[in-house]
Structure 1
Amino acid sequence: MKIPVIVALVLACAVASVPRPDPRDQILASAHALIGRYPYSWGGGHAGSAGPSFGICQGYRGDIRPCPATTTHGLDCSGLTRWVYEIGYDHDVLGPGTTDDHLRRMRPVNDPAPGDLVFFGTKKRTHHVGVYIGGGRMINAFKTGTRVRVDPVNALDDLLGYYRL
């Protein structure tokens, strides 16, 4: 009877001592893998679960007319961050919603690290988010007519700040 208890204790200690991978590593690897692969789609990435989806035209203000979102299978900025964070954390930690909804789940940081999120707008109304990759750059779904890409964080002039889960 003592052998199974000892085996169970050894296995429990072995499993507990295996380091869990840092979610940031998965977030960054996933974001890098998406560069150029998916087009921007207003509302894309917010179907029943995280990941590419057809977008919506409600609230669309893009330059391309008529709105192409309902026929474009892709991601918008918050859909991209939602998906890579789900991959990194093994569940949908950001959930559906807008950049404002996602911002409320995070805390601001003064020392941004790769894998943090970069938000744009104001605390009352954000309008864009990207995954910070270091060196003043982010991976993001920028706007209609583009694909997931790397941009400098100063591509928009209203940087709100860097946030971490």
Structure 2
Amino acid sequence: MTIKRNLVTFAAASALGLAGAALTQSNSAQHVHAATNSVKITNAAGANLLDGNGNVIRHLAAGSEWLSYQTKTGSNGDTWINLGADQWVDSVNTSDNSSSTSSASSSSSIFTATKAVSLVDVSNNYLRTLPAGSKWKTYGTMTGWNGDTYVNLGGNQWVDETAANAASTAVEGATTTATSRDTQVQEVIALAKAQIGKPYVWGAKGPNSFDCSGLTQYVFQNAVGKSIGGYTVAQESAGTIVSISNLQAGDLVFWGSRGATYHVGIYIGNNQYIAAPQPGENVKISSISAYFYPSFGVRVL
């Protein structure tokens, strides 16, 4: 099918993508792929995943496979492939992998929701919640733009299997307390990663857009059922205060003095956090840096 689109115009190109190129707009038409299309990164050096302003989001490894949703032609003549939300890769670095991906078949398997899990469309828009213990026929799997495995439950309906199965990764024999916390941390991080690429909107609480505290509230409420409050100052009291040097994965990380914080994210380990940054940007993973150094953390779990 065709829908109205904006023509993508880039300033410069390279084998790994466009760094610093901006998008300009003009009316045209675009082709939107079916949800079962995917691409494989064939460039031996991998490829850069870019946003609409030509900023590098992250690097895609050679040989990795990704769901693709639509294509746009750049001014350099290259075709740019959308991998979900505002994320693009130059087709010169890819090959069409649709024929080798899983699709509907008479031998469809069963997906069991080990916990309540969100059902989404191909743009990661929330459709409804599948109750824990429910069973569903599946019609193929794909690697989504966030790196997780998505299971198709028929038509334009997908579930993030990686996030849904996070609870099953706890090591058998660990103590109940340790297993419970580890599982909850994994669920929080998995759900936070599933929001990557969604736009920042001031005051938004999800599921299609967020501000910083709206993202953290949504993730903790829907991943582990914890109510942490709807704005940064309230969330300061959601757990135990910890120093930045003692952060652990799953902790909230704050900017600003206590009682007057102005930004919050979710620490995921390795000096990185997920947050909804500011107007004009999308939910993304960032690294803690001296330029924008956080003030303290809160251990919720």
TM range (shorter): 0.5 to 0.7
Q: Tell me which protein shows more strand as a share of its residues.
A: 2
Q: 1:102 aligns with which of 218, 224, 235?
A: 235
Percent of pairs with identical residues: 33
Cα RMSD (Å) of the superposition? Answer: 2.0
Q: Does 1:148 align with 2:148?
A: no
Q: SS at the partner of 1:118? A: strand
Structure 1 residue aligned with 2:26: none
Contact 2:202-2:279 within 8 A present in 1 as well: yes
Structure 1 residue aligned with 2:274: 139
Structure 1 residue aligned with 2:72: none
Structure 2 residue aligned with 1:93: 227
Structure 2 residue aligned with 1:43: 203
Which whole-Å CA distance do the structure 2 matches of 1:93 and 1:31 have between them? 15
TM-score by length of 2: 0.37
Q: SS at the partner of 2:194? A: helix
Shift of 1:88: 2.5
Per-residue displacement from partner, 1:69-94 (whole Å, max 9, x unpaired)?
A: xxxx510000000111112322x411
Contact 2:238-2:298 within 8 A present in 1 as well: no
The letter for the 1-side match of 2:237 is: R
Which protein is bigger by CA-based radius of gyration? 2
The letter for the 2-side match of 1:119 is: F
Aligned length: 120
Shift of 1:32: 1.0
Q: SS at the partner of 1:159? A: coil
Which whole-Å CA distance do the structure 1 matches of 2:296 and 2:238 have between them? 14
Which whole-Å CA distance do the structure 1 matches of 2:264 and 2:288 have between them? 10
Q: Does 1:116 align with 2:251?
A: yes
Per-residue displacement from partner, 1:83-121 (whole Å, max 9, x unpaired)?
A: 11112322x41133x100111222112421111111000
Shift of 1:148: 0.4
TM-score by length of 1: 0.66
Q: 1:129 to 1:139 in 2, by over 3 A?
A: same
Shift of 1:156: 5.6
Q: Which runs of 5+ in 1 are unaligned?
A: 1-16, 46-50, 53-72
The letter for the 1-side match of 2:201 is: S
Shift of 1:158: 4.9
Structure 2 residue aligned with 1:67: none
Q: Which runs of 5+ in 2 are unaligned?
A: 1-175
